[in-house]
Structure 1
Amino acid sequence: MGRGAKWAIGIGVVALLLFLLLVSPYNSLVNLDEQVNQAKSNIEVTLQRRLDLIPNLVETVKGYASHERETLEGVTKARQQVAAAPTLEGKMAANQGLTSALGRLMVVVERYPDLKANQNFRALQDQLEGTENRIAVARTRYNQAILAYNTAIRRFPTLILARLLGYTPKQGFAATPEAQTAPKVKF
């Protein structure tokens, strides 16, 4: 075997090693990016579940509290704003208004003991409460997926590949400014 053939084999081995060193980080980046996308989809699915429950809740309350029209319309309008938001970030921002409107609805419910005792209403309220918990869990998982992704694109040697392929940091969800203040409870 000649000197040129040995060089060609050496260069081939080095090229193969470089290729193998790049395949694993690339696959990891793709996997982490897909986990972020899946976590984002899970939030959207959970928000949709919440939106689907609200009309039933409003209709149940309407039967008992027909003169509370303004509150019921506020919930319906806030729900429509969440549904119309084109991005997850927009949906989460509109979701704050919906949470506020639902809070006002629950104040109305307190005025109607028969409604609070109604099995249909209680079942809907339980489902909505469970959905609120699911939203919180989905947001946490989304933030965890983003943490893993952002960490990976900043680690060496993956950061070189990430920059070459255009992988950029993603933004997670943070608490709203309103969440920094504890609610005041008066009896």
Structure 2
Amino acid sequence: MPELRVEEVLLSRRGVLKVGLWTSAFLTCAGLGASLSGCSPGSSASGFALLRSSDLTFLRALIPVMLAGSVGAPAVPGAADATLHQLDHNLAHLSPELLKLTRQLFDVLAMPVTRGPLTGVWGGWESASPEQIQDFLQRWQNSSLNLLRMGHGSLVQLVMMSWYERPESWAGCGYPGPPKI
């Protein structure tokens, strides 16, 4: 068995720079593609202040998977819809910079050229199984790339804050609601 040297195993400084350069180029092209295709600034979907149709497709697939275990199966569609509207309300109150970053995250997840390699979901979100979405969430949560871990954290916070802000969720976690004044 050949002996491996530390230099062969560890990524060299030049290798790190190459990976950084290729990642930057990939994300720049994805962002440029999103802006040229009209993904980014697009208009809001009907009935929503900020969420766009492409965002709704992704979120309608994601939210039921994230709420599994917090909501009984018969109540999932209503809870997912309420969470979507609360999420839209919350996004309307973000700073412009945070809203821009959130939209960029949604754009990367909506575009087929970035969705497949980054999430493992090669078809559209509407055809993704709950297992595929769960795999995507675990993949991002355990990623060696800090950017993907941050994206996972953002998605979890956005969805869970929007759900647990709703009075329907309070009974399930034992919260009696805000005190009466």
Taking structure 2 as the reference length, the TM-score comes to 0.29
Q: TM-score, normalised by structure 1?
A: 0.28
Q: Hey, which of these two has a bigger chunk of helix by percent?
A: 1
* Structure having greater relative contact order (Cα 8 Å, sep ≥ 6): 1
Task: Pick the structure with greater CA Rg.
Answer: 1
